[in-house]
Amino acid sequence: MKNYVIIFILCMYVSMGFGQGKKTRVRVDIKPLVGKTMWFSFEDGETDAKMLAPDADGIFEFSATLEKPIDVRLGMDEPVKGSLNLYIEPGDDLLIKTDFKDATTFTGKGKENAIAYKDLMALYIKNYSSIDATKVSTEVLNEQIAQMRKDNLAFLEANKSKVSKDFFDFQYIKFYYDGLGFEIIMPYMISQGLKKKFKEVLPADYLNMLQKVKLSDDLLIYYPYNRFVRGSLPGYLRYKHMLEIGKEDSLVTQKEEEKRKMEYDLIKANLTGKIRELALFSTVNSLLLIAKDVNDYKSYIDKFAADGGSDAHVTELQGIYDRALTLASGATPPPFELDDINGKKVSLKDFAGKVVYIDFWASWCSPCRQEMQSGSPKLHARFADNKDVVFLYISIDDNEAKWRKAIADDKIEGIHLLSKGGTKSVVAKAFNISGIPRYVIIGRDGKILDNDAPRPSNDETYSQLMKALNNK
C-alpha cells in the first residue's frame, strides 16, 4: 500500500473535465419481476431523488445530461425490496439486469466502472459492518477505522488499469476524505458511547490531522471533498481548539449555537479562499437552521457578506432565514402525511388537542439510538398514564428494513413514520432538519412550541412537556 501522500500527488495532477454536459442513460431490467416504481437517490446531497416508472417493455430508464460523475443508489420496494450502489459518468449508457439479490450484470458504456464500484462498495460495507465500538479497545477501534480506509484505497490502486481515470480520481478522493471525516468524528462518538473522556480515546496523531488535508480550492468540484469542507473540517477545527486550550470536556455541554459561532471564528482564522467561503457559509447555514429564535443570528448573514461571502450564498442564507421564521415558536407546523409502520396514513391533524414530541432520527445515527435506548424509555414512563402526550418518531432512513430492525432492536415505543431521503426528504426539508437527532414540540393548539427541543434524557424535556400539557 502506498503512503497517503499519494493523495496529494493525485490532487496536484488531477484534471477532470467537469462542465461539459453529456447525455447519460441508465436502464434497469428486473424481468421476470414486475415492478411499478423505482427510485434513484443521488449521493451528492444536492440532487433530488427521482422516481421512475417502467416503459412498455418493463425497463426502468434514467436519462439526463450530466456534467460530472456522480454516485447514486437505485432501488425499489415492491415486488422485492432492494438497492444497488452505482457510479455513472457523463456519456455512460448502461444496461443493468438485476433481481436485487444474487444476480446483477452490467453491459454498455461504463460497465467496467460499474462492476468495480459494486465490488468496492461491497468491501466498504463488509469492513464498516465489522466495526463495533462496544467490543474492542479504543486502540483497536482506531486501527480498524484506519485499516478500512487503507483497504478502500488499496482496492482502487489494484484496479486502476480496469477503470477510467475519472473513476479512480473521484473515488480516491471520496474514500480518502470520507475516511478522514470518519476518523475526525469517531473519537467524539466513541467517548459518548463508552462514557469516556474525549482525550482518552484520541489517536496519537489527532492534533496533526490537518497535515493529511490538501487545502485546495480546485478540489471543491468533487462533492466528497466539498462535503468534507462543509462538515468535518469545521468540526475538527473546533475539536482541536478545545483540546489546545484544555476545555475538551466542555465539548459535550457546548450548546449547538455556541459550537457554530466558535467554528465561524476558527474558519476565519485558519482557512483561505473558496474553502474559507464555503465553510463559513455552511456554518451560518447550520446556525440559522438550529436556532431556537432565528432572529438572534440574522446578523451573521451580514457578517458573512462582509467576510467575503458570495452574492449567491448570501441570497441562499436569506432564504433559509425567511423559511426559519415560518418554524418559529407560535407558527403552524408544515403539514405532512406519512405511512406508519403498519401502513396507516398519519398526519399531525390526527393529534389535535394533544402535545406532540417529534423525534427525527435514523437507524444509522448513533446519538439517536443512544437516546432511544436510555433517554426515551425513562421519559415515556413518566407519561405512561397520560394519553395527551404523543411520541412521534419520524425516521429519515433510506432503507426501510434497517428502520424496522432498529425499532425492534431498541424496542422503541411510540408512533413510527418513515420519510425516506435523509435531510433531503420531504418532511425533513419542510422542518429545516439539517442534522439528527432533532426534536420538535407541538402544543395542544397545533402550534410549534419549540423547534429545537431538548433530548429525551434531558430533564428540561419533561418540564417543557408538562408546561405544554397545562397550557390549555
- pLDDT, position 388: 93
* pLDDT tens digits in sequence order for the chain, 472 residues long: 334 444 443 444 444 455 578 999 999 999 998 888 888 888 876 777 788 899 999 999 999 999 889 999 898 878 888 888 999 999 999 999 998 887 899 999 999 999 999 999 888 888 877 777 667 777 777 778 788 888 888 999 999 999 999 999 999 999 899 888 988 888 887 777 667 788 887 888 889 999 999 999 999 999 899 999 999 999 999 999 999 999 988 887 888 889 999 999 999 999 999 999 999 999 999 898 878 788 889 999 999 999 999 999 999 999 989 888 888 888 899 999 999 999 999 999 999 999 999 999 998 888 888 898 889 999 999 998 899 999 999 999 888 888 999 999 988 889 999 998 888 788 998 888 878 899 999 999 999 999 889 899 988 999 999 999 987 6
Helices (H), 198-253: 223-230, 232-244
Contact 171, 117 (CB under 8 A): yes
- pLDDT, position 10: 44
CATH 3.40.30.10 residue ranges of the chain are: 337-470
- pLDDT, position 9: 39
Using CA atoms, how far apart are residues 224 and 234, in angstroms rounded to an integer?
15
**72: its cell numbers:** 447514486
Q: What is the DSSP letter of 54?
A: B
**303: its cell numbers:** 457578517
- pLDDT, position 4: 41
Single pTM value for the model:
0.73
CATH 2.60.40.10 residue ranges of the chain are: 1-218
- pLDDT, position 166: 92
Phi-psi region of 362 (alpha: psi -120 to 50; beta: other; left: phi over 0): beta
- pLDDT, position 333: 92
Using CA atoms, how far apart are residues 468 and 125, in angstroms rounded to an integer?
44
CATH assignment of 1-218, among 2.70.170.10, 2.60.40.10, 1.50.10.20, 1.10.3720.10: 2.60.40.10
Using CA atoms, how far apart are residues 425 and 84, in angstroms rounded to an integer?
19
- pLDDT, position 346: 94
Kindly give the interhelix angle for 232-244 and 223-230, rounded to the nearest 10 degrees: 40
- pLDDT, position 43: 81
Contact 166, 69 (CB under 8 A): yes
CATH assignment of 337-470, among 3.30.1540.20, 3.50.50.60, 3.40.30.10, 3.40.190.10: 3.40.30.10
- pLDDT, position 76: 84
15: phi then psi, degrees, rounded to nearest 5: -150, 70
- pLDDT, position 101: 83
**Looking at 77-161, which runs of residues are DSSP E strands?**
82-88, 93-98, 104-109
Q: What is the per-residue pLDDT across 340-371, written as a single tens digit (0 to 9) for each? A: 999 999 999 999 999 999 999 998 888 888 89
247-255 long-range contacts (CB < 8 A, ≥24 apart) are: 248/197, 248/198, 248/199, 249/197, 249/198, 251/188, 251/198, 252/192, 252/198
Question: Cβ atoms within 10 A of the Cβ of 460, count?
Answer: 11
